[in-house]
Amino acid sequence: MTSNQEDYLKVLYEAGGLERHISNKEIADKLAVAPASVSEMLAKLNQNGLVEYEPYKGSRLTEAGLAACMDVVRSHRLWEVFLMRHLGYTWREAHEDAHLLEHVAPARMVERLDMFLNHPRMCPHGHEIPQRRELPHPVPLLRLSDLHVGERAVVSQIEEEGALLDYLERIGLHIRKPVEVVEIEEYEGGVTFVQEGRMIHVGQAAARRIFVEREEGSEQ
Ligand SMILES: [Zn+2]
Ligand SMILES: [Zn+2]
């Protein structure tokens, strides 16, 4: 499988393509490629039994497709942990360079990396690291923008997009720490919340891409 094919499977997985059909448009947006090349690639993956494509509905990952992308997802997230913990990478840098390493690192290197890092459970952006031979099912998550004033929740994960990662790291957002919403501006306005005693304000677009959980899962 080419690294390009691996990217398609990974995007499908991360968009919830085990549970629902993902449209060509959504895939094209996520990969920043032309819709025509998406159709072409999906036809190929469909032929190889890695996705199941239905006209007008989109594509779902098959079991074979899932198995094929699992190793890539695992490798990507382990590399992110390594790059941040040991090489001083930022959130964005780690995501970008892990994307290069995920395709070239052989399986035994990834397993040694996992041991070296002492089997981390999450990537630095809060996404679960799948264990060998099983992928976690994506959990439906609440967005920061869904919370009301006065509500508390724990930041569980953030969407991995370069500019967003830079922005959230710069304003000092932390993963796995509780937040309490103190103000929501009217009509698609921003959200102001407190995290670890600090007041933080984010715009609506960012608030929709920060995911939270209601139960107490914070590290005290
Ligand atoms: Zn990433
Ligand atoms: Zn990550």
The CATH number that applies at residue 207 is 2.30.30.90
pLDDT at 216: 55
pLDDT at 69: 86
30, part of any domain: yes
Q: What digits encode the pLDDT tens for the residues 18-27?
A: 889 999 999 9
How many angstroms is it from 55 CA to the middle of ligand 2?
32
pLDDT at 134: 61
In a shared domain, residues 184 and 126 = no
Residues whose beta carbons lie less than 5 angstroms from ion ligand 1: 95, 160
How many angstroms is it from 181 CA to the middle of ligand 1?
27
218, part of any domain: no
CATH number for the domain spanning 49: value is: 1.10.10.10
Distance CA 90, CA 166 (A): 8
Tell me the residue range of the domain where 196 lies: 142-213
In a shared domain, residues 14 and 76 = no
Domains in the chain, number = 3
How many angstroms is it from 125 CA to the middle of ligand 2?
4
pLDDT at 217: 44
pLDDT at 201: 96
Domain end marker among 84, 115, 138: 138
Long-range contacts of 28-35 (CB under 8 A, 24+ apart): 31/7
Q: Is 160 helix (H, G, I), strand (E, B) or coil?
A: coil
pLDDT at 12: 92
Distance CA 3, CA 72 (A): 9
Low-confidence ranges of the chain (pLDDT < 50): 217-220
107, part of any domain: yes
177 contact partners, CB below 8 Å, separation of at least 6? 154, 155, 195, 196, 218, 219
CB neighbours of residue 203 within 10 Å: 14
How many angstroms is it from 167 CA to the middle of ligand 2?
15
How many angstroms is it from 23 CA to the middle of ligand 2?
23
Q: What digits encode the pLDDT tens for the residues 52-73?
A: 998 888 999 998 898 888 888 9
Q: For 145, which DSSP code? A: G
pLDDT at 123: 96
pLDDT at 3: 82
